[in-house]
Amino acid sequence: MEVNLTRVDQDFHFAAKGASGVEVHMDGSPEIGGHNAGARPMEMLLMGLGGCSAIDIIQILKKQRQQIDTFDIKVTAERTPGEVPSLFKHINVHFVLGGPLDEEKVQKAINLSMDKYCSVAAILFKTATISHTFEVTAGKLGMPGDLV
């Protein structure tokens, strides 16, 4: 695997590309001279955790013929204050899936992802405690004008 980063400005803004060719922007916070032109590198780690787990969960639930109408993930984390490097000490991943889903199958898919399949979780488990929660909502979001 290879990624390439190119500096965009004279401060901390970088454009990164991997093998997919999709460009992602990263930048430092304004407090250190960044311009909010991209996600922070530590935010990217949390985004990677959510995305990695989501892919696993979707694959598992599709194999079980579960219909996922909506899927949202909120990842929150605490870092060790006053230390350099300031590592994550606790991360919580909250999954919200909508549709006619079997909650036991959702729970099992999440557990399999977080405990076995998600490579990003396996890396982050080495330095942080990771917890996860979930909820299943009623289903499809209506479009404007639809009768729900």
**Cβ neighbours around 27 below 10 Å, total:** 21
Q: Where are the domains positioned within the chain?
A: 1-39, 41-137
Superfamily of domain 41-137: K homology (KH) domain (3.30.300.20)
pLDDT at 147 over 80: no
d(CA 67, CA 136): 12
Per-residue pLDDT of 90-133, as tens digits, reads: 999 999 999 999 999 999 999 999 999 999 999 999 999 999 99
9-41 pLDDT, tens digit each: 999 999 999 999 999 999 999 999 999 999 999
pLDDT, position 141: 56
| Residue/partner pairs of 130-134 with CB below 8 Å, 24 or more apart | 130/49, 130/90, 130/91, 130/92, 130/93, 131/90, 131/91, 131/92, 131/93, 132/92, 132/93, 132/94, 132/95, 133/92, 133/93, 133/94, 133/95, 134/94, 134/95, 134/96, 134/97, 134/106, 134/107, 134/110
Q: Where does the pLDDT of residue 134 fall: very low under 50, low under 70, confident under 90, or very high at 90 and above?
A: very high
pTM for the model: 0.89
